Amino acid sequence: MKKIINIHLIALLLVALTISSCKKEYGNLNSPTVEDFLENATKDQLNNLVSGTESAMRNNLGLYLDDIGAVGREMYRFSGADPRYVTDLLGGGASTLSSSGFYITNVWSSRYRVVKNCNVLEEAAANSTLISDAEKKGYQGFAKTIKAYQLLLILNLTDKNGIRIDVADPNQLGPIVGKTEALTSIAAILDEARTDLSGATISFPLSAGFSGFTDAAGLIKFNRALAARVAIYRKEWAAALTAVNESFFAPLGDFSTGVYNVFGTGTGDQLNPAFFPQNQAGEVRLAHPTYTSEIEAGDDRINKASLRTSPATSSGLTSDHDVWVYTSSTAPVPIIRNEELLLIFAEANIQLGGAGLTDAVTALNRIRTEHNLLPYAGAVTQSALITEMLEQRRYSLFFEGHRWIDMRRYDLLSTLPIDRTDDDVWSEFPLPNTEQ
């Protein structure tokens, strides 16, 4: 990993530098070094690091969604180029998840590249005499928020196998830490970022994916939304409610309000890697058959799985619905949005019990009625409402990277469908072989 981090940090810096026009203070554009940014970075250099960080967050995002979607039986990924989507990820026959498989090594390295860029941004802002203290806090708060988010994505895959938190010094990496310690550290990084952002000045531009969240107050709300997600993973239910209420949570607001990875067709930009056209052959993403067979009648979320003109089959697996969550090559992919916050609010209230059960039903009914369903009519008990909440998360957050994690959190992986006799449902990905 040491070699990977060093190489790809320079790659990120190169990308950042080539995005904007050349200026004398950038130093040697043909061979930028970390030192160019750490010694006394200009605002332009810091802004380029921000842009490079945002851009790199999209690398291997499609693969991350494929990992969680396939293992969590949300979808199938058929690929003529690589059968491991239907062998390794589904445990087909004697197949297992490999520590050298692209499905973990590529995602791991991409996320840690962003973490490294965030570490450089933090240090560069701290060392710069060319920006105010309030501006320094803005850069650092942004960097820490994104770093925590990237670490969480890695932990989502490896779970009890753990992750590295401390990678600031590529020549002396910190240890692999377990899941509990990792989640505690991620929560602490988010809290540090929130403190930095309080009273900070945001002097850097952000992409359209941060529309409505580009000032310090907006970034704090985004930060607290992520903190709420981390809190439910930690089963810190009261903390989850506190974080939700400090976020952009709007019980009656637009479900799509949130922060996104965005894509474009411009030079140097990227297309959405999670988009495939409908009715395609060869490289396809297909909704798992249970998505459409188990959805309630009238639920408009059926539109996230479009009916194909003909079924697609590979290795004993068949589906007649395409994944149709991202409907164009430039469709944004959510980092976190209001509909998830409503579901977090419901979950925390269910777990706290008492009067919270009534609040949870109100929140779940907002989800149901917004998607053309009748209000919830089941038992108002913790057990029944957990089942209902998980069902609404399944359909509201389809192919956004949650289903497998949710079923694991509630010890329900054994209830996911097995499509072939010798298939397996994995509980976590192995650490890359370079980390063992």
* DSSP E strand stretches across 111-205: 163-164, 176-177
Give, to the nearest 10 degrees, the angle between helix 133-158 and helix 61-71: 40
Contact 62, 396 (CB under 8 A): no
Neighbours of 79 (CB within 10 A): 15
Q: What is the pLDDT of residue 436?
A: 81
Contact 75, 323 (CB under 8 A): yes
**Rounded distance between C-alpha atoms, residue 345 and residue 394, angstroms:** 16
Of 144, 171, 205, which residue constitutes the final position of a domain? 205
Q: What is the pLDDT of residue 247?
A: 98
Q: Which domain holds residue 77?
A: 1-23+30-205
| Tokens representing residue 394 in the block | 């399944």
Question: In this structure, are 191 and 318 located in the same domain?
Answer: no
Report the largest interatomic distance among the alpha carbons of the chain, rounded to a whole angstrom: 68
CATH number of the domain to which 74 belongs: 1.25.40
| Tokens representing residue 329 in the block | 């090559």
| Tokens representing residue 189 in the block | 């990084």
What is the DSSP track for 39-72?
TT--HHHHHHHHHHHHHHTTTTHHHHHHHHHHHT
Q: How many domains does the chain have?
A: 2
Question: In this structure, are 75 and 168 located in the same domain?
Answer: yes
Selection from 67, 203, 89 nearest residue 135 by Cα = 203
Question: In this structure, are 60 and 158 located in the same domain?
Answer: yes
> Is residue 196 in a domain?
yes
> Is residue 432 in a domain?
no
Pairing between β-strand 258-261 and β-strand 284-287 as defined by DSSP bridges = unpaired
What is the DSSP track for 259-291?
EEE---SSTT----TT---TT-SSSEEEE-HHH
Q: How many residues does the chain have?
A: 436
322 HSE (CA, 13 A, CB side): 20
Question: In this structure, are 166 and 310 located in the same domain?
Answer: no
Its sign, for the CA torsion 344, 348, 349, 350, is positive
> Is residue 412 in a domain?
no
What is the DSSP track for 84-98?
GGTTTTTT-TT----
- Three-state DSSP class for 167? coil
Angle at the Cα of 336 from the Cα atoms of 333 and 337, rounded to 5 degrees: 95
CA-based R_g, the chain, Å: 22
> Is residue 151 in a domain?
yes
Q: What is the pLDDT of residue 18?
A: 35
> Is residue 413 in a domain?
no
Of 143, 175, 205, which residue constitutes the final position of a domain? 205
> Is residue 131 in a domain?
yes
Question: In this structure, are 7 and 107 located in the same domain?
Answer: yes
**What is the separation, in whole angstroms, between the first and last Cα of the chain?**
10
Q: What is the pLDDT of residue 28?
A: 38
Tens-digit pLDDT string for the chain (436 aa)? 443 344 344 445 544 433 333 333 333 334 456 767 788 999 999 999 999 999 999 999 999 999 999 999 999 999 999 999 999 999 999 999 999 999 999 999 999 999 999 999 999 999 999 999 999 999 999 999 999 999 999 999 999 999 999 999 989 999 999 999 999 999 999 999 999 999 999 999 999 999 999 999 999 999 999 999 999 999 999 999 999 999 999 999 999 999 999 999 999 899 999 999 999 999 999 999 999 999 999 999 999 999 999 999 999 999 999 999 999 999 999 999 999 999 999 999 999 999 999 999 999 999 999 999 999 999 999 999 999 999 999 999 999 999 999 999 999 999 999 999 999 999 999 999 999 8
**Rounded distance between C-alpha atoms, residue 63 and residue 59, angstroms:** 9
**Rounded distance between C-alpha atoms, residue 249 and residue 243, angstroms:** 9
Contact 162, 178 (CB under 8 A): yes
Of 292, 323, 354, which residue constitutes the final position of a domain? 323
Q: What is the pLDDT of residue 170?
A: 87
Q: What is the pLDDT of residue 33?
A: 61
> Is residue 172 in a domain?
yes
Q: What is the pLDDT of residue 49?
A: 97
Question: In this structure, are 201 and 288 located in the same domain?
Answer: no
